């Protein structure tokens, strides 16, 4: 397909003869990214400047209280320290990025006046810079103006190693940010950067105010009062926060979008469990929205029969997976377990890793637990389609697993547990508490027992497991067990930042307060080279091939065991309007546009 063909397709979209989604899928097949496709449409006036809405309000407010449930409760409200989506989503009530990603991966401007593109001249053809023009009518909740200084500061804040920001990876490629005027910034990258929207967009791109956070940049970052009492630009102002329990906000009367938001107050109730959250929305109608319905599909189907709510499924890149610890969680060095200075006593044996991969019955997990809400997969990287590897396959085979262990010298003892060189194949398997994950643990435990591996189950309360507390050894980032399971969320329609969780420089450690994204502690020079090459590769076809190689390396080395590719599943009241999910952004990406009938 040449340029003339593409222009003809764009003309068909503009004339209404071809849908945006059909055009998107065609372009993705050619190796283009979703944001670039969105920019192509925007350049001819097709793309929307705001989320789609079925309701056109004539005034701000009047909608009463919006009640939402997050069964993993948030623990802080600073997006730069957000550990997992529950902290990102809670922060998104108050803070905003320059742009959000819609369900098709297009950039919709939020704090930006428009989305940059090659066509409007704001994205450099060589990939070395992008210029953002900012909205001029935006003020922080305390009345101070939002300006280019805030954008520059967020980069400086995140990049200070002493700040220990989780978001540091989003900003690492920036050489400098030039303030062109009070509401224009030019981001200059160190190398050609194909995914230039990584900083300042999506759930990791929220911007905090310079005038309140500057005194706490660096070593004092955790002492900032605004870590718990946010002052943002969002549709709602802060009212109250009880970590691990509840977040409350009230309407921002000076919000920069006219006649938005619809609701007067918002409540995010945290804690509990996914089944109770689903029931409270779908069956009883007590709440309007519930996040992350990790509930058996047959239960969700029964609840939907009440007619009060439904589940909404949005496909993205999230993956439920089992991680294998490359370090020793049972040896402490300088006050740190799972230290990079150690090696795991038996998970460094490729035979053991290969065996565990054969003992995860993905088919049974999908059929018996997830149904509509999980797709069995052999890949860690599953989306977008152009980067999904066709070189892998999954297999469940207990006999084959036993043969591999036997031929590698792991012999069964009198107790049935295999051992070699005085080391027994006994491991601790941890995850967060919810019914699907505990069932998943049991499926793996039973298969391992048949092969001669003893598995002790550890289940941690979700609010603890996903906590950002650097002093808590039971968080997933500390990884104080042999193997563990959870869902890693892909928050952008580009794999670059998603795949940095296997790079050597992202290892979680005491030094970075366990905020590094490489939780497995696996390190591989070839992988690092591939990741860096993809970071600067402007050819979309070559870049996709690099990501496929990265995925294949991770799978070949059994760094992780993918279980199911998980679409986002939310429970939504039938009265709630326009609460559309995006597989590439926070559940609250379009919060100002939500409304309610009756």
- Please identify which residue in the block is written with the tokens 């200059």: 188
> Would you say residue 21 has pLDDT above 60?
no
How far apart, in whole angstroms, are the C-alpha atoms of residue 280 and residue 71?
Answer: 11
How far apart, in whole angstroms, are the C-alpha atoms of residue 531 and residue 376?
Answer: 26
> Would you say residue 5 has pLDDT above 80?
no
DSSP state of 352: H
105-124 confidence digits (pLDDT tens): 889 999 999 999 988 999 99
Query: What is the predicted pLDDT for the residue at 463?
Result: 86
How far apart, in whole angstroms, are the C-alpha atoms of residue 163 and residue 159?
Answer: 8
> Would you say residue 402 has pLDDT above 60?
yes
Split at pLDDT 50, 70, 90, the class of 12 is low
DSSP state of 159: H
Query: What is the predicted pLDDT for the residue at 385?
Result: 85
How far apart, in whole angstroms, are the C-alpha atoms of residue 534 and residue 544?
Answer: 8
Query: What is the predicted pLDDT for the residue at 209?
Result: 98
Q: Is 139 left (phi over 0), alpha (psi -120 to 50) or beta?
A: beta
280-317 confidence digits (pLDDT tens): 999 999 999 999 998 999 999 999 999 999 999 988 99
Lowest mean pLDDT among 33-37, 209-213, 249-253, 481-485: 33-37
How far apart, in whole angstroms, are the C-alpha atoms of residue 197 and residue 190?
Answer: 15
Lowest mean pLDDT among 26-30, 130-134, 231-235, 391-395: 26-30
How far apart, in whole angstroms, are the C-alpha atoms of residue 396 and residue 343?
Answer: 27
- Phi/psi at 485 (nearest 5 deg)? -135, 140
Under a CB-based contact definition with an 8 Å cutoff, are residues 462 and 433 in contact? yes
Query: What is the predicted pLDDT for the residue at 430?
Result: 98
Average pLDDT value for the chain: 92
Split at pLDDT 50, 70, 90, the class of 54 is confident
Q: What is the mean pLDDT of residues 411-434?
A: 96
Q: Find all residues with CB under 8 Å of 361, minimum gap 6, and list them.
A: 396, 443, 444, 447
Instruction: Quickly count: other Cβ atoms within 10 Å of residue 222's Cβ.
Output: 15
DSSP state of 172: T
Give Cα separations from 11 to 8, 20, 46 (angstroms).
Answer: 5, 11, 10
> Would you say residue 487 has pLDDT above 80?
yes
Q: What is the mean pLDDT of residues 483-496?
A: 92
Q: Find all residues with CB under 8 Å of 88, minimum gap 6, and list them.
A: 79, 82, 203, 204, 206, 491, 586
Query: What is the predicted pLDDT for the residue at 84?
Result: 81
Tokens of 478: 């500390």
> Would you say residue 548 has pLDDT above 60?
yes
What CATH class does 319-491+559-566 carry? alpha beta
Give Cα separations from 295 to 71, 277, 490 (angstroms).
Answer: 12, 10, 20
Query: What is the predicted pLDDT for the residue at 315?
Result: 86
Task: Tabulate helix, strand, coil % of the chain (nearest 5).
Answer: 30, 20, 45
Write down the H helix ranges in 203-336. 210-213, 274-278, 297-304
Dihedral angle of Cα 370, 375, 377, 381, to the nearest 10 degrees: -110
Split at pLDDT 50, 70, 90, the class of 74 is very high
497-546 confidence digits (pLDDT tens): 899 999 999 999 999 999 999 999 999 999 999 999 998 898 888 999 99
Query: What is the predicted pLDDT for the residue at 18?
Result: 59
Query: What is the predicted pLDDT for the residue at 83?
Result: 81
How far apart, in whole angstroms, are the C-alpha atoms of residue 249 and residue 457?
Answer: 39
Tokens of 176: 């400098």
Of 91, 76, 65, 36, the C-alpha closest to 589 is 91
Percent of the chain past pLDDT 90, that is, above it, reads 81
- Phi/psi at 118 (nearest 5 deg)? -65, -35
DSSP state of 358: H
Query: What is the predicted pLDDT for the residue at 14?
Result: 56
Under a CB-based contact definition with an 8 Å cutoff, are residues 483 and 433 in contact? no
Split at pLDDT 50, 70, 90, the class of 56 is confident
Query: What is the predicted pLDDT for the residue at 468?
Result: 82
> Would you say residue 13 has pLDDT above 70?
no
Query: What is the predicted pLDDT for the residue at 517?
Result: 94
Give Cα separations from 82 to 98, 236, 266 (angstroms).
Answer: 18, 19, 20
- Strands of the 129-133 sheet, one edge to the other: 129-133, 184-189, 174-181
Under a CB-based contact definition with an 8 Å cutoff, are residues 474 and 465 in contact? yes
How far apart, in whole angstroms, are the C-alpha atoms of residue 530 and residue 544?
Answer: 11
How far apart, in whole angstroms, are the C-alpha atoms of residue 279 and residue 267?
Answer: 18
- Phi/psi at 560 (nearest 5 deg)? -135, 160
| Per-domain boundaries in the chain | 3-230+570-596, 319-491+559-566
Homologous superfamily in CATH for domain 3-230+570-596:
Dipeptide-binding Protein; Domain 1 (3.90.76.10)
80-102 confidence digits (pLDDT tens): 999 888 999 999 999 999 999 99
Q: pLDDT: is 25 or 339 the higher one?
A: 339
Of 157, 163, 137, the C-alpha closest to 233 is 137
231-262 confidence digits (pLDDT tens): 999 999 999 999 999 999 999 999 999 999 99
25-42 confidence digits (pLDDT tens): 566 556 555 555 655 565
């Amino acid at each position: 397909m040449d340029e003339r063909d593409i222009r003809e397709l764009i003309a068909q979209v503009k004339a209404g003869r071809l849908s945006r989604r059909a055009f998107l899928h065609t372009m993705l097949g050619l190796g283009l990214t979703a944001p670039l496709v969105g920019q192509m449409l925007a350049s001819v006036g097709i793309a929307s400047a705001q989320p789609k809405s079925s309701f056109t309000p004539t005034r701000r407010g009047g909608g009463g209280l919006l009640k939402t449930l997050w069964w993993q409760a948030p623990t802080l409200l600073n997006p730069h320290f957000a550990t997992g989506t529950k902290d990102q989503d809670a922060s998104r009530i108050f803070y905003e990025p320059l742009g959000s990603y819609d369900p098709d991966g297009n950039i919709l401007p939020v704090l930006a006046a428009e989305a940059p593109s090659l066509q409007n001249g704001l994205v450099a053809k060589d990939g070395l810079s992008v210029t953002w023009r900012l909205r001029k009518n935006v003020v922080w909740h305390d009345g101070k103006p939002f300006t280019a200084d805030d954008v520059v500061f967020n980069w400086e804040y995140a990049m200070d190693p002493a700040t220990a920001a989780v978001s540091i990876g989003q900003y690492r490629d920036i050489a400098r940010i030039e303030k062109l005027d009070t509401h224009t910034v030019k981001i200059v990258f160190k190398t050609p950067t194909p995914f230039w929207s990584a900083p300042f967009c999506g759930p990791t791109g929220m911007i905090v105010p310079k005038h309140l956070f500057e005194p706490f940049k660096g070593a004092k970052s955790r002492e900032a009062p605004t870590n718990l009492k946010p002052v943002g630009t969002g549709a709602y102002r802060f009212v109250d926060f009880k970590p691990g329990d509840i977040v409350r906000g009230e309407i921002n009367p000076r919000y920069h979008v006219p006649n938005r938001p619809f609701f007067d107050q918002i409540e995010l109730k945290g804690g509990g469990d996914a089944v109770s959250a689903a029931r409270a929305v779908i069956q009883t109608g007590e709440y309007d929205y519930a996040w992350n319905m990790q509930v058996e599909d047959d239960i969700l189907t029964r609840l939907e029969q009440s007619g009060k709510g439904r589940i909404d499924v949005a496909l993205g890149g999230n993956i439920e997976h089992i991680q294998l610890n490359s370090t020793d969680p049972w040896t402490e060095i300088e006050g740190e377990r799972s230290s990079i200075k150690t090696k795991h006593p038996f998970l460094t044996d490729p035979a053991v890793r290969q065996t565990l991969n054969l003992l995860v019955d993905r088919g049974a997990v999908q059929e018996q637990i997830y149904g509509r809400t999980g797709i069995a997969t052999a890949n860690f990287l599953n989306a977008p389609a152009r980067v999904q590897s066709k070189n892998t396959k999954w297999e469940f085979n207990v006999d084959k697993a036993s043969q591999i262990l036997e031929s590698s010298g792991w012999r069964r003892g009198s107790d049935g547990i295999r051992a070699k060189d005085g080391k027994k194949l006994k491991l601790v398997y941890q995850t967060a508490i919810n019914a699907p994950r505990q069932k998943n643990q049991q499926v793996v435990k039973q298969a391992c027992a048949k092969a001669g591996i003893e598995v002790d189950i550890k289940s941690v309360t979700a609010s603890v497991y996903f906590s950002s507390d650097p002093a808590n050894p039971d968080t997933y980032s500390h990884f104080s067990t042999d193997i563990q399971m959870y869902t890693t969320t892909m928050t952008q329609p580009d794999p670059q930042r998603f795949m940095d969780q296997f790079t050597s420089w992202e290892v979680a450690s005491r030094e970075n307060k366990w905020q590094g994204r490489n939780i497995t502690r696996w390190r591989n020079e070839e992988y690092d080279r591939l990741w860096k090459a993809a970071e600067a590769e402007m050819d979309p076809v070559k870049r996709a091939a690099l990501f496929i190689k990265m995925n294949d390396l991770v799978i070949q080395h059994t760094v992780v065991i993918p279980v199911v590719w998980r679409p986002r599943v939310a429970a939504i009241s039938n009265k709630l309007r326009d609460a559309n999910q995006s597989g590439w952004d926070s559940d609250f990406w379009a919060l100002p546009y939500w409304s309610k009938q009756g």
